[in-house]
Amino acid sequence: MVLPTGTVENGRLIIDGPRISDRAPENARSLDAGGLWLIPGFVDLHNHGGGGASFSSGTVEDVLKGIRTHRAHGTTTLVASTVTDEMDLLVRQAGLLSELAEQGDIAGIHFEGPFISPCRKGAHSEGLLRDPDPAEVRKLIDAARGHAKMVTLATELPGGIDSVRLLAEHGVIAAVGHTDATYEQTVEAIDAGATVATHLFNAMPALGHRAPGPIAALLEDERVTVELINDGTHLHPAALELAFRHAGADRVAFITDAMDAAGIGDGRYMLGPLEVEVADGVARLVEGGSIAGSTLTLDRAFKRAVTIDRLPVGDAVAALSANPARLLGLADSVGSLEPGKYADLVLLDADFDVKGVMRRGEWVVDPQLG
């Protein structure tokens, strides 16, 4: 069992209703999970869909299908991400997603685009991109009805710094991403209130010795949490090691950046208005070949972290649970196994494969323990 204080062998966790308790209720039933790892449920800051469903353009049932797909892989708290589209469509989808946030199905909304750089657009439609006008940023915040959690911006664009300040004033995370900013411009954005690096290393200038760019600024500043997509495609293991060494284990958040194909398989899909081909688990735009999100689930990110990247289990758990929960302001209810918090947990076998998932005291994936 992995607790905030470290790994405990032969530990005991008491669950009373939807929460973890420090005392056993009457008629408590004991379940033997001997030989399994017990870790907190995963918290995904950046996720566009799964199970063949999109969070950015789908119906309520589509979104719920995607949520169920990721829950089966251990993600018990999820922020739904949109992709660049017409403003009216983004406003409409924000309204739909806000209803699901009010019901507790998602932890909030992340707007990735349209306020990003055409130089680093990745899998976003260039014709729909625009500068981050604070009035339009505010329009999305208002459409989310208090459930906007994060907005990714190319903060070097006209209106970028003012938009960062606006987001900070409204308690919404300003994330630097899909950016062509210099080191100095990124420092300015952080000083204005930006606190997240959207999928660090990806969709931004490479680290240079004369022009260090945004990567150096984002890694060195203790106010910034850096997102990493640990799927073996987006990052070389040395880049992941660099991020952990310079940011520290308490400033890294593993994300999926998942699109529709997560949990499904290869084939043709849509990411917003763009067509995507998934082959051998890697998603790329049909036109141009840019990587288009991922097919990752967080259980795979965790397994890779501890078996291939050789991260300590505690560091991997922090990156998947405690760090994103803290960033979202949810550390009092999720992100670790402590009394008073929701009983969100994942059971893994010795090979770090999922055997059981519990959310708020109910099994999503029943391990069939005796």
Both tokens of 222, joined, read 């203790």
Calpha distance 135→163 (Å, rounded): 9
> Which of 257, 260, 299, 344 is labelled catalytic?
257
Calpha distance 124→292 (Å, rounded): 8
Q: Where are the alpha helices (DSSP H) in 255-312?
A: 298-307
What is the pairing mode between strands 2-3 and 225-229? unpaired
260 is catalytic: no
Calpha distance 331→119 (Å, rounded): 36
What is the three-class DSSP state of 250? helix
CB 298 within 8 A of CB 254: yes
Q: Where are the alpha helices (DSSP H) in the chain?
A: 60-71, 87-102, 134-143, 160-169, 183-192, 213-220, 237-247, 298-307, 313-317, 323-327
Amino acid at position 338, single letter: E
CB 21 within 8 A of CB 339: yes
Both tokens of 220, joined, read 């060195």
Calpha distance 255→231 (Å, rounded): 10
Q: Which stretch of DSSP H or E encloses residue 321?
A: none
CA atoms within 13 A on the CB side of 219: 18
What is the three-class DSSP state of 196? strand
Calpha distance 257→113 (Å, rounded): 13
3-state secondary structure 102-155: HCCCCCEEEEECCCCCHHHCCCCCHHHCCCCCHHHHHHHHHHCCCCEEEEEECC
**Residues with a known catalytic role:** 257
